Structure 1
Amino acid sequence: MYTVKPTIDPYLFEKQFEAFKKFVEEQSNVSFLSFASNPYTDEQEGYKYNIYRTARDKLTFQAWKESDIGSGDIIAATIEAIEFQSNNLVQWQNRYGDEKRPHHPLHEAKTSFENTRIIEQCLFDFYHKSDVIGSFDELINIFGKKYALIAYLFFVKDNSKYLPIAPLYLDRSFELLGVDLKTNKRCSWENYSLYIYAVNEIKLMLTEALSSNISLLDAHSFAWMLSAQMEKQGKLADTKEYLSLSDTERDAIVKSRIGQGQFRKSLIEYWSKCAITGCQKHELLKASHIKPWSRSEPIERISLYNGLLLSPNLDSCFDSGFISFDDSGKIMVSNELNEKDMRSLGIQNEMKLFRIEPEHRKYLVYHRENIFKKS
């Protein structure tokens, strides 16, 4: 079954990022340039890196051998990697009785060799093999749908790919950023992979906003702080007016914001003038995605080759599908534009992109097949 991947609303991200930056600078009294270099974000969120390192030091899964399966050593190491004082990513403490702890099956297995063997086989395979989907399901079989615990074990496996999860806070953050994704009470590999995808999208946008390297965990911290700190302190951006607009009105705002940002700057540097007419008046030119932003993968959204710098009339016709370009860059005009319309718009059949590279072609193919009005 095809699953729609979550996307971030660029306008909502921009507004909340501006509020986030202001909030952090107020708390730290220094400019916010990166998560690691700012004393406030480092103090508030940097501990997660320490948890990751401590857990891996205790787990030492790289040293596990198949002969350890059934010995109890793998379970003991996993318990140690969960139960340490600074670990607040999992509610492991015995607050409501031992059976309420999410990792209770690990303690319970100590009394049964067979259960120990089954659980340790699962943990060994999880940390040494690449079948993450199967491992996720196996962990559910052992622990039940304990989302925070399972996500934590994935995080300890590789923090460049996986993240801890706090569904209620992160669901609220996604809502603030216009992401159509809920994680609360939805523990499954499909949901977790969509969650990771969404945070990767945030990471990409933070990287562009800060012009610096951002880790997946930094993006997680940004999302967490929006709902867990800023909302509680009334520091979020006011986006009520934007949210009251129609989808068409929002799309127009998003397009204009994208056209004012780094993507536009990159296209001006690359094209230097209108890709068709040669007009060099930059303030008149429009930065346009070939494959629409809303349909692009994260990396495609900032790709230099997924953009054209066009005069306003050509930009409007291109976005609406009245014109497109073949693989050589020659203009294609929809039959829905008659000769009078073409003359009025200054469109000629001889027009051609003044430069084109192989990397442009996959985006042009998409535009011709999905946007261009063929008849």
Structure 2
Amino acid sequence: MEISEKIFETAFLEFSKIGNGISNERVSIFKNHPLLVKHENYKYDIKDDAKNQLLTNTWKDADLGTGRILECVKNAINLNSNNLIDWRKKDDFKKLKANRENEKLLFDFFKTKIEDENAFNQFHEIGFSYQLIAYLFFIKNFQKYMPISQEQFDKIFNSLGIDFKTSHNCSWRNYLEYNEIIKQFKKQLSQRFQNVSLLDAHSFLWIYGFQLGSIDEKPKSKKESKLKEREETEILIDKAKPELEIYKPEKVVDLESLPDLENEIDYIENHRRLMEIGDLAEKIVLEDEIEFLKNDFPDLAEKVRLVSNNPKLGFDILSFETDGSQKQIEVKAVSENKNSKSFIISRNEFSKSKIYSNYYVYCVSGINSETPKILRIKNPDFENNEEFIIEPLTYKITFE
């Protein structure tokens, strides 16, 4: 499908209006455009995080039927930051059984041992939603395939006079045409900007859709919606609070309620146990990093080091990406409470997470089980990412 220059100019004019006076001429690389930086470039992080969860380079034929491949793909789908799939659509993947046949399909798809059209049709037959299928193709090859939100993109295409619909049209042919339309916009954008990717063109159309009045700046996850609701409730409560009078506390300790000595908490023992758990978590990650690299990148595997004995570094393990670049890994044994996870981070670790170029936090759960799990968070922006809730647990008091 050929996108005319007139259609592109219409979209670009509205895109510029949304920029509220931002001069497009001053931006040479489209990815650096302030609108993309503010609203859309998080999708690159989702893609990278998904790749780190997939670990397709480590998949072996012996894994088929064990559930490992299914678990890797599930982790790549259920990223906390992933709003490219409606949270209700993510449940589609839970229907898939961890048998050899299903894992062989995923193995062949991500290892490119099966034609993409064949894989698409098999995913559709299993019962995957269009949105989930598109996401799998996106994390496999983001230079060729894009995520999809049928209802919103149908509104975008319709407003531009493009006679094409994706809703209720889940098919390989429809998906190819959808990506072809985005490629046409990439071609037009490339005449104005440098280094335009297919994902940039996808973001351009999504931002254009803001003016339609029905697209959020960034799709809200279930967690984000709950946080917003809680914040609004807290504001109402604060408004209703009367001013408290200044008073002097007069409470004293009830001597009868003091515990017996034998029931008191042994803080030294607790600390020792926490240290053991932390050491075990580091051992699990160290072995996993070496195992991941040693088959295809033995030289890099030999360089992986445990450096937790030097707390000034702010991380526990020095490892490497497959391209040879360093990974600074801070290991955390996480505690889980229903659907949330938590860990303690020191001031130094918090600071170093902002400094190192390739800083990871590896969250290890199920440490004492036969199959511990590792959640990898790359370059976490704890202060500015709403997925993280920061709570002060200790305070430093200085006085003269």
TM-score if structure 1 supplies the norm length?
0.53
SS at 1:48 equivalent: helix
1:230 aligns with 2:211: yes
Spell out the pairing of 1:63-78 with structure 2 (5 A cutoff): 63-78=58-73
- Alpha-carbon deviation of 1:127? 0.8
- Alpha-carbon deviation of 1:153? 0.3
- Alpha-carbon deviation of 1:11? 1.1
SS at 1:183 equivalent: coil
Spell out the pairing of 1:1-375 with structure 2 (5 A cutoff): 6-26=1-21, 31-92=26-87, 101-106=91-96, 109-110=97-98, 116-128=99-111, 129-142=113-126, 144-208=127-191, 210-227=192-209, 229-232=210-213
- Alpha-carbon deviation of 1:21? 2.0
Q: Any idea what the Cα deviations from partners look like across 1:341-370, whole Å, max 9, x if unmatched?
A: xxxxxxxxxxxxxxxxxxxxxxxxxxxxxx
Q: Any idea what the Cα deviations from partners look like across 1:126-179, whole Å, max 9, x if unmatched?
A: 11125001011111122x150010000000001001110001111122223332
What is the identity, as a one-letter code, of the residue corresponding to 2:213? K
Is this contact kept in 1: 2:30–2:195, CA < 8 A? no
More strand by share: 2
Q: How large is the RMSD of aligned CA atoms in angstroms? A: 2.4
Is this contact kept in 2: 1:8–1:178, CA < 8 A? no
Q: Where do 4+ consecutive residues of structure 1 move more than 3 Å?
A: 25-35
What is the identity, as a one-letter code, of the residue corresponding to 1:136? F
Aligned identity (percent) is 37
SS at 2:32 equivalent: coil
In 1, Cα distance between the equivalents of 2:168 and 2:23?
36
In 2, Cα distance between the equivalents of 1:44 and 1:196?
21
What is the identity, as a one-letter code, of the residue corresponding to 2:3? I
Q: Any idea what the Cα deviations from partners look like across 1:30-55, whole Å, max 9, x if unmatched?
A: 94444321233112000000000000
- Alpha-carbon deviation of 1:222? 1.1
- Structure 1's unaligned 5+ residue stretches are 1-5, 95-99, 111-115, 235-375
In 2, Cα distance between the equivalents of 1:101 and 1:233?
25
Aligned length: 214
In 1, Cα distance between the equivalents of 2:31 and 2:193?
14
What is the identity, as a one-letter code, of the residue corresponding to 1:232? G
SS at 1:102 equivalent: helix
In 1, Cα distance between the equivalents of 2:30 and 2:88?
29
More helix by share: 1
- Alpha-carbon deviation of 1:187? 0.8
Q: Any idea what the Cα deviations from partners look like across 1:195-214, whole Å, max 9, x if unmatched?
A: 11111011101111x14221
Is this contact kept in 2: 1:59–1:80, CA < 8 A? yes
In 1, Cα distance between the equivalents of 2:66 and 2:214?
50
Q: Any idea what the Cα deviations from partners look like across 1:40-79, whole Å, max 9, x if unmatched?
A: 3112000000000000100111221111110100001111
What is the identity, as a one-letter code, of the residue corresponding to 1:101? D
- Alpha-carbon deviation of 1:185? 1.2
In 1, Cα distance between the equivalents of 2:214 and 2:85?
25
Is this contact kept in 1: 2:121–2:171, CA < 8 A? yes
Is this contact kept in 2: 1:36–1:46, CA < 8 A? yes
In 1, Cα distance between the equivalents of 2:48 and 2:11?
30
What is the identity, as a one-letter code, of the residue corresponding to 1:131? E
Is this contact kept in 2: 1:28–1:38, CA < 8 A? no
SS at 2:30 equivalent: coil
SS at 1:36 equivalent: helix
- Alpha-carbon deviation of 1:189? 0.7
SS at 2:189 equivalent: helix
SS at 2:190 equivalent: helix
SS at 2:161 equivalent: coil
What is the identity, as a one-letter code, of the residue corresponding to 2:107? F
- Structure 2's unaligned 5+ residue stretches are 216-400
SS at 2:31 equivalent: coil
Q: Any idea what the Cα deviations from partners look like across 1:252-284, whole Å, max 9, x if unmatched?
A: xxxxxxxxxxxxxxxxxxxxxxxxxxxxxxxxx
TM-score if structure 2 supplies the norm length?
0.50
